[in-house]
Structure 1
Amino acid sequence: MTGAGRSRWSRRFIILSAAFLVVWRFGALVGISRRVEVTIALFGFVFHVVFGMAYLLVPSYFGTILATDRVPAAHLAVSVSGTVLLTAGSLLDIPASVESTVESAGVLLWCAGIVAFLAALLWSIRDPLLGGETGTSSHRSDHEWVDRYANRFIPVSFAYLAAGSYELLARVSPLPGLTDGYMPRVTHLLAAGFVVLLVFTLGVRLAPRFLGVPAPKVPTGIVLLTGAVGPALIAFGLTSRSVLVAGALAEAVAFVGFTAVYLVIYLRSDRRRVGSGSILVGTVSGVFGVAIGVTVAVGPLFGLQPFSLGMVQTHLQLNLFGFLGLVIVGFAVQFYPPTAGRFRGANERTARIVIGTLAVGLGTVAVGRVLSQSSFVTLGNGLALVGAVGYGYLLTRLLVEIGSRRAN
Structure 2
Amino acid sequence: MRTERASRWFVATSALFFVGFHAAMAVAAPRRVVVTLGLYGFVLHVLFGKAYALVPPYFERDLAWELGPAVQFPLSVLGTTGLALAPLGPSWLRPVGTLLWVGGVGVFLGTLGWTIAGNVTGTATGTGGANAHREPVDRTANVAVPIALGYLALAAGSALATTAGFGSVHPQQLSHLLAAGTAALFVFGVGFRLFPRFLVAAVPRPVVAVVVATGAVGPALLGFGLFDRTLLLIGGVVEAVAVAGFALSYLALFLRSERRRVGFYAVLLAVVAGVVGIGLGLTVAVTGRSPALVTAHYRAMLAGFLGLTVVGAAFQFYPPAVGVWPCADDRTALLSIALLGSGLGIQLLGLVGRIGWMRPVGTAAGGLGALLYTYLLVAAFARRWQ
TM over 0.5: yes
Contact 1:234 1:243 in 2 (8 A): yes
Shift of 1:150: 1.1
The letter for the 1-side match of 2:378 is T
Contact 2:284 2:290 in 1 (8 A): no
Contact 1:8 1:403 in 2 (8 A): no
Following superposition of structure 1 onto structure 2, how do residues 376-391 of structure 1 map, counting pairs within 5 Å? 376-391=358-373
Residue 328 of structure 2 corresponds to: 346
The letter for the 2-side match of 1:73 is A
Residue 36 of structure 2 corresponds to: 39
The letter for the 1-side match of 2:124 is E
**1:67-117 deviation line (CA, Å, top 9, x unaligned):** 22211111000101101111221123xxxxx41x21000000000000100
Give the aligned CA root-mean-square deviation in angstroms.
1.4
Shift of 1:128: 3.3
**1:149-206 deviation line (CA, Å, top 9, x unaligned):** 11122110000000011111112103x34xx412221111111101111111101111
Whole-Å Cα distance in 2 between the matches of residues 370 and 295 of structure 1? 11
Runs of 5+ consecutive residues of structure 1 not aligned to the other structure: 93-97, 300-304
Contact 1:143 1:215 in 2 (8 A): no
Whole-Å Cα distance in 2 between the matches of residues 243 and 30 of structure 1? 34
Runs of 5+ consecutive residues of structure 2 not aligned to the other structure: none
Residue 13 of structure 2 corresponds to: 16
The letter for the 1-side match of 2:344 is L
Residue 373 of structure 1 corresponds to: 355
**1:226-277 deviation line (CA, Å, top 9, x unaligned):** 0000000111122433322221110000010000111111111011211111
The percentage of counterpart residues that share the same residue type is 41
Indicate yes or no: 2:300 matched with 1:318.
yes
Taking structure 1 as the reference length, the TM-score comes to 0.92
Residue 80 of structure 1 corresponds to: 77
Contact 2:140 2:205 in 1 (8 A): no
Please identify, of 309-318 and 254-263, the stretch whose mean Cα deviation from structure 2 is larger: 309-318
Residue 113 of structure 2 corresponds to: 122
How many equivalent pairs are there?
A: 386
Q: 1:163 aligns with which of 143, 149, 154?
A: 154
**Rg: which structure is higher?**
1
Whole-Å Cα distance in 1 between the matches of residues 341 and 227 of structure 2? 34
Contact 2:102 2:156 in 1 (8 A): yes
Contact 1:165 1:190 in 2 (8 A): no
The letter for the 2-side match of 1:155 is P
Whole-Å Cα distance in 1 between the matches of residues 146 and 226 of structure 2? 24
Please identify, of 120-129 and 329-338, the stretch whose mean Cα deviation from structure 2 is larger: 120-129
Indicate yes or no: 2:43 matched with 1:52.
no
Whole-Å Cα distance in 2 between the matches of residues 401 and 64 of structure 1? 29
Indicate yes or no: 2:198 matched with 1:221.
no
Please identify, of 332-341 and 159-168, the stretch whose mean Cα deviation from structure 2 is larger: 332-341
Residue 138 of structure 1 corresponds to: 129
Following superposition of structure 1 onto structure 2, how do residues 61-100 of structure 1 map, counting pairs within 5 Å? 61-92=58-89, 98-99=90-91
Shift of 1:217: 1.4
Whole-Å Cα distance in 1 between the matches of residues 150 and 261 of structure 2? 34
Please identify, of 281-290 and 23-32, the stretch whose mean Cα deviation from structure 2 is larger: 23-32
Taking structure 2 as the reference length, the TM-score comes to 0.97
Whole-Å Cα distance in 1 between the matches of residues 217 and 200 of structure 2? 29
Indicate yes or no: 2:145 matched with 1:154.
yes
Distance 1:131 1:31, change over 3 A: closer
Residue 302 of structure 1 corresponds to: none
Contact 2:144 2:188 in 1 (8 A): no
Whole-Å Cα distance in 1 between the matches of residues 317 and 241 of structure 2? 27
